[in-house]
Amino acid sequence: MPADTVQLIVQADYQVLPCLVCDGTDFDVLLTPEQIQAEAAWLRDFHRARVLCPDDDLIDKAEFTQSEPVFLLRCNACRTLLRNPQPTPKALQARYRADEYGPATLQELLENERDFFRRKANSIDLPTGSRVLEIGSFVGAFLLAAKEKGWQATGIDIGKETCEFMRGLGLEVLEGDLQSHHIPTGFDAVFIWNTFDQINEPRSLLKDLRRLLKRDGHLVLRVPNGEFKSLALQQATDAARRAEAYNNFLTFPYLCGYTRESLSHLLNEEGFEVDRITGDVILPLATANTKRYAIEEEVRIKRLVMRFCGRSKSFCYPWMDVVANVI
């Protein structure tokens, strides 16, 4: 085990975890810390070539909150992916609370995500006036889409800067986590877009969400598919690496990569029944600084990924949208 990983393990704010789904401890090593560092270097060069200002525009494209060179493991029992070691829950909160982007970047991210989350909101059948909660609201794109649908939307986010930004948009947002607030029960739906994979106590969270939802309430999750990373590493081609880059899979900056089967199992054990799981690519990475040819390439490659995954016999889409109902 490399010395830098040993150093992480002995620090008080890191922990070595079993599988978050089945508690298994028998893992295959998919990436070593050195290999994660090599992927990070390739990714920085890749995105610097896409923008007009080489040192700009790398946040959430090549610079991630989960960036440590640790091990990426795959559980041999359920095939769930896991970064190991991981920050403790307390360390995670401190890390996300301190994230800083700047007003201009936050506004650009919002505009970049508006259409994407309008489509996501339109895919959920809820009547006007429904009470909905979003966990991990980030810049508020989904909350704005929910308001357009006529839903009573509340967001919760741990980031101080992002909460201030969303309140400036007139959105109802709570700063902190679920335990920080007394939140009334009876929600028609809870949404967690691109955040559930950043939580290393998923069972505890699911218990809280089941309590907050109505008996016939919906839980909507969007998570990275661990099978996509496994397949890309197995193929080891330039095309696979570019597909990873455009879907934020290089260095695997997520604490956990569920599979369709492992996430369904986890949800069922915590009182939810999966209604549907659909495959998707990540929301647009292109921004105002991105060169036109790079925007066109991003769209083309993501379409190719979707066609490939649609023809595959396995469920290998990069991202999964999951709709589950309270049992």
Instruction: Work out the percent of the chain whose per-residue pLDDT is above 90.
Output: 69
Instruction: Work out the percent of the chain whose per-residue pLDDT is above 70.
Output: 91
More confident position, 4 or 65:
65
> What pLDDT is stored for residue 283 in this prediction?
85
Kindly tell me if the per-residue pLDDT of 3 is higher than 50.
no
Which residues, 6 or more positions from 284, have their beta carbon under 8 angstroms from its beta carbon? 112, 113, 116, 298
Q: What is the pLDDT of residues 41-76, one digit of tens each?
A: 999 888 888 765 555 566 667 678 888 899 999 999
> What pLDDT is stored for residue 59 in this prediction?
66
In this prediction, residue 233 has a pLDDT band, given cuts at 50, 70 and 90, of very high
Retrieve residue 235's tokens.
């193929």
Q: Measured between alpha carbons, how far is 122 from 15 in angstroms, rounded to an integer?
A: 40
Single pTM value for the model: 0.91
Q: What is the pLDDT of residues 131-169, one digit of tens each?
A: 999 999 999 999 999 999 999 999 999 999 999 999 999
Largest CA distance in the chain: 56
Q: What is the pLDDT of residues 89-114, one digit of tens each?
A: 888 888 887 778 889 889 988 998 99
Alpha helices in the chain (DSSP H): 3-10, 33-48, 89-97, 103-122, 141-148, 160-168, 202-212, 226-235, 238-245, 260-269, 292-311
Q: What is the pLDDT of residues 248-303, one digit of tens each?
A: 999 999 999 999 999 999 999 999 999 999 999 998 877 666 777 777 888 888 89
SS3 category, 184: coil
> What pLDDT is stored for residue 5 in this prediction?
52
Retrieve residue 148's tokens.
């357009």
> What pLDDT is stored for residue 13 in this prediction?
87
Q: Measured between alpha carbons, how far is 196 from 192 in angstroms, rounded to an integer?
A: 6
> What pLDDT is stored for residue 1 in this prediction?
46
Query: Rounded mean pLDDT of the chain?
Result: 90
More confident position, 95 or 239:
239
Which run of H or E residues covers position 316?
none
Task: Estimate the share of the chain in helix, then strand, then coil, as percent rounded to the nearest 5.
Answer: 40, 25, 35
